[in-house]
Structures are given as structure tokens and as C-alpha cells.
Amino acid sequence: MIHAHNKTALLELKKDLELVHNGAEVLEEKRNILLKEIISLLDKVEEERSDLNEAVLKSYSLLKKAFMENGKEHLKKEAALPIFRGKLHVYEKSFIGILTPKINYELQQVRFPLSISSETLFLEVARKSFIETTSKILALSEIELKAWKLAEELKKTVVRVNALQKYYVPEYDKAIKETTASLEEVEREFLIIIKKSKKR
């Protein structure tokens, strides 16, 4: 670090060091908030994933029953019918200044089946189950995306904290010591000159 060895430079260095310490404190606080939120999100991810796995197994179990009840051809026809239409809205939400995705999913029924007799119990229950499972998939993906975004920000914050603590603070400490030593040396030389001039 290049700096002048005078009192003004010393005051500037001390002021800058204080700013570096304040910055490090703010970043450490941000790091702690991010860690806490990520841990909370990971707990939610585990819970939602377990719930989703159960929902997927249930949906496929109902689909198998619908297959056994109606046969392959009937299921293919039902799958091709445009009974539902979904609207997916993804927008950004701020968390301590970090933009994270928020997902909204609206499901609209385009039409009812042509006749009640064409519907069977397991087919209808399977359809409903798969719709609920889709909502669970989107809910889980929202949490996972937020966790990834915050993890990226945490990584950057840790790098900045380390840079301040392990590089900038020692550099400023060294510069302050050098400047203080240089000023003390100049002061000692000045006192020696004054003493010599008094003796004359």
C-alpha cells in the first residue's frame, strides 16, 4: 500500500480502517442472516420433497388403478382432452436486497367432461392427484431456487468478508504502524535538533 508518511495520511488511514471494520461487520451480519435463511429453506426443502415423493407415488398408484379400470386406449383419449389450462406467473421478490423467484400457478377448467358416464372414479381421482402434485412440484422448485440464489450470494459475501479480514485490515494495520513509526522517528530527530540548538 503506497501512502505518504505524515499526520494527514495517518488520520486518513485510521479513518479508512474504521470504514473497513464497519464494512466487515455489516458483511458478517449479512452472512449470518443468509446462513440462517438457507438452513431454514433446506429444512423446508426436505419436508416438501418428502411430501412430493408421497404425492407422486399416490398419483401413479391411482393412474395404475385407472389403467386397470379403463384400459390403455381410454386413458390415452382422456389424456388428450384439453380439460384444464394452467397459468404460471413467475416474478421476483426481494430478500435483504437479493431478488428471488416467486411462483404462482393458477389452474382453470376449460370444460367439463361431455358426459358423467364417460368418467370413472379412479380416472377422476388420478387427474385430481396429478394436478395437486404439479402444485407441489412448483412449490418445491420455488424454495430450491431461492436457496440456490441465497447460496450464491452467501458465497460472494464470504469472499468479501475474507478479503476484508485477511487482506485489507492487515494492510491498513501495517500502513498505520509504518506511518506511526516514521512520524515518531521524525519527532525524535526534531527533538535532538532542538536540544543541540539549545546547547549552543
User: What is the dihedral sign for C-alpha 99, 100, 104, 105?
Assistant: positive
Spatial distance between the Cα atoms of 150 and 98, rounded to a whole number of angstroms: 8
CB 93 within 8 A of CB 100: yes
> What local confidence, expressed as pLDDT, does residue 82 receive?
62
Question: pLDDT digits over 140-166, tens only?
Answer: 999 999 999 999 999 999 999 999 989
DSSP 8-state assignment for residue 120: -
**84 or 127, which is more confident?**
127
Q: Which residue, 74, 61, 79, is CA-closest to 126?
A: 61
Question: pLDDT digits over 94-128, tens only?
Answer: 888 888 888 888 776 655 454 444 557 778 788 88
User: What mean pLDDT do residues 10-38 have?
Assistant: 92
Spatial distance between the Cα atoms of 52 and 70, rounded to a whole number of angstroms: 26
For domain 7-111+119-199, is the CATH number 1.10.287.3240? Answer: yes
Q: How open is the CA angle 75-79-82, to the nearest 5 degrees?
A: 145
CB 16 within 8 A of CB 172: yes
Spatial distance between the Cα atoms of 43 and 153, rounded to a whole number of angstroms: 19
pLDDT at 90 over 80: yes
> What local confidence, expressed as pLDDT, does residue 193 receive?
80
CB 180 within 8 A of CB 50: no
Distances (CA, A) of 105 to 108, 132, 136, 138: 10, 11, 10, 8
User: What mean pLDDT do residues 36-61 have?
Assistant: 94
> What local confidence, expressed as pLDDT, does residue 110 receive?
53
For residue 3, give every residue at least 6 positions away whose Cβ sits within 8 Å of its Cβ, in sequence order, or none.
9, 12, 13, 175, 179
pLDDT at 32 over 50: yes
DSSP 8-state assignment for residue 174: H
Q: What are the residue ranges spanned by the domains of the chain?
A: 7-111+119-199
Residue 52 C-alpha cell reads as 412430493
